[in-house]
Amino acid sequence: MTDWDRMYDCQGDTERVPRLLDQVEREDDAEAWCELRHRLVLEDDWVFPASFAALPRLVRLAGTRGRARELAGAIVRRAGCDHGCEDLLAGCAETISALDGLLDRYLRTRPSDYLPAFRALLGARGQYHWAAVLDDFADDFYPVDCPHCGGETTIAIGGYGRCSAVRDWDLGDVDRRELRPASPEELTGTGRWMYATASRDGEQVLAEGVAHLFGRAECPRCDSVFSIAEEYALANLPSSGDYPSV
Ligand SMILES: [Zn+2]
């Protein structure tokens, strides 16, 4: 049984979320879902004890209710933030595993909201960094510091090209160098899984973006070559500060 008395939401409230869960379980009410989302995932960034307490019911509903799947996904995507609920997160292991299977089956249907579901699945697998930053590779920039000379390098992966460059305030991206994507055989770990899943589901732009992101870049300043994903992940680990108080 969940002890809702200590499961506060983004407003410090402990009573509203269980009532809203009852309500959305009875009827797929858009307004109730909207309030529930606002209370459980603040500004698309922060989750709360009530978010984890609600997760089992959301995942049970997620098989038949799209909004439940989306909200459960939004919560697990942010589960790596410094929310102080590690015990609650650990208690959700079975629920998150069920959500993992559900999201994977959903992705196979090639839905229009593929990317949010893909990011939710990254969260369910504990890949919080990529769950937070991965975008659609339409026009994405990843600033990294060259591990050899320390110079800031902009990695661009988008429709107009995939390159490393020095970003100049006046001149734009100068001294562009083509990225060197990883071949499918070279990919390992999360990069390999991300590439394989996106390819399986016909998400070619996403798959190719991942191959570039997990590939290598040449530093325009010192000409050395480094792994983009490694440097980017190192520089952008999920933050532990600035958690909102309620
Ligand atoms: Zn360099």
Task: Output the CA 209–ligand 1 centroid distance in Å.
Answer: 23
Task: Output the CA 230–ligand 1 centroid distance in Å.
Answer: 15
Model confidence at 197, in pLDDT bands (50, 70, 90)?
A: very high
Residue-wise pLDDT for 224-243, tens only, equals 999 999 998 887 765 544 55
Which structure tokens are listed for 36?
């529930």
Q: Residues whose CB is under 5 A from ligand 1 (ion)?
A: 146, 148-149, 151, 219, 221-222
Model confidence at 159, in pLDDT bands (50, 70, 90)?
A: confident
Cβ atoms of 210 and 195 closer than 8 Å: yes
Task: Output the CA 225–ligand 1 centroid distance in Å.
Answer: 8
Task: Output the CA 153–ligand 1 centroid distance in Å.
Answer: 8
Question: Within 125-182, where are the H helices?
Answer: 128-133
Cβ atoms of 17 and 4 closer than 8 Å: yes
Task: Output the CA 6–ligand 1 centroid distance in Å.
Answer: 50
End-to-end Cα, the chain, rounded Å: 24
> Would you say residue 190 has pLDDT above 70?
yes
Unique residue bearing structure tokens 């958690």? 243
CA dihedral 237, 238, 242, 246 (to 10 degrees): -170
Task: Output the CA 192–ligand 1 centroid distance in Å.
Answer: 26
**Predicted local distance difference test score (pLDDT) of residue 43:** 81
**Predicted local distance difference test score (pLDDT) of residue 239:** 52
The residue-averaged pLDDT of 178-197 equals: 96
**Predicted local distance difference test score (pLDDT) of residue 4:** 85
> Would you say residue 143 has pLDDT above 80?
yes
Instruction: Tell me what the pLDDT averaged over the chain comes to.
Output: 92
Task: Output the CA 172–ligand 1 centroid distance in Å.
Answer: 19
**Predicted local distance difference test score (pLDDT) of residue 240:** 45
The residue-averaged pLDDT of 179-185 equals: 97
Task: Output the CA 185–ligand 1 centroid distance in Å.
Answer: 27
Helices (H) and strands (E) in the chain, counts: 11, 8
Task: Output the CA 111–ligand 1 centroid distance in Å.
Answer: 40
Residue-wise pLDDT for 125-135, tens only, equals 999 989 988 99
Task: Output the CA 144–ligand 1 centroid distance in Å.
Answer: 10
Task: Output the CA 61–ligand 1 centroid distance in Å.
Answer: 50
| Helix (H/G/I), strand (E/B), else coil: 238 | coil
Q: How many residues does the chain have?
A: 246
Task: Output the CA 20–ligand 1 centroid distance in Å.
Answer: 53
> In sequence order, which residues have a C-beta less than 8 Å from that of residue 101 and are 6 or more positions away?
none
Q: What percent of the chain has pLDDT over 90?
A: 78
> Would you say residue 1 has pLDDT above 70?
no
Task: Output the CA 168–ligand 1 centroid distance in Å.
Answer: 16
CA 82 – CA 101 distance, rounded (Å): 26
> Would you say residue 245 has pLDDT above 70?
no
pTM here is: 0.90
Task: Output the CA 128–ligand 1 centroid distance in Å.
Answer: 28
Cβ atoms of 235 and 145 closer than 8 Å: yes
CA 196 – CA 200 distance, rounded (Å): 6
| Comparison of pLDDT for 56 and 80, the residue scoring more | 56
Residue-wise pLDDT for 82-115, tens only, equals 888 888 999 999 999 999 999 999 999 999 999 9
In this predicted structure, which of 11-20, 105-114, 131-140, 192-201 has the lowest mean pLDDT? 131-140
